[in-house]
Amino acid sequence: MIKFVLQNLAQLKFSDENIITTLEARMKCGIGICGRCNLGAKYICKDGPVFSLAQLRDLPGAI
């Protein structure tokens, strides 16, 4: 669902930096040690869960 909302906001000419969303993942430790919530070089538990669309575009499999 978030994918479609992001597309609609982009069509309304919102910049990627101004589109903010959250990511969810099952977290085993919650502090970045276990690696279960990593997307590329980012950890949802440590670096998020709030990301801009500009940040998500650099993360594999985020959107």
| Residue at 10 is within a domain | yes
| Residue at 41 is within a domain | yes
Please give the tally of structural domains in the chain. Answer: 1
| Residue at 62 is within a domain | no
Q: What is the pLDDT of residue 50?
A: 93
Q: What is the pLDDT of residue 18?
A: 93
Helix residue ranges per DSSP H, 1-63:
2-11, 44-47, 53-57
| Residue at 63 is within a domain | no
With a cut of 90, say whether residue 14 has pLDDT above it. yes
| Residue at 16 is within a domain | yes
The model carries a pTM of 0.74
With a cut of 90, say whether residue 59 has pLDDT above it. no
| Residue at 27 is within a domain | yes
| Residue at 19 is within a domain | yes
Closest residue by Cα to residue 16 from 60, 55, 45, 46: 55
pLDDT tens digits, one per residue of 26-53: 778 888 888 888 888 888 888 888 999 8
For residue 29, give its domain range.
2-57
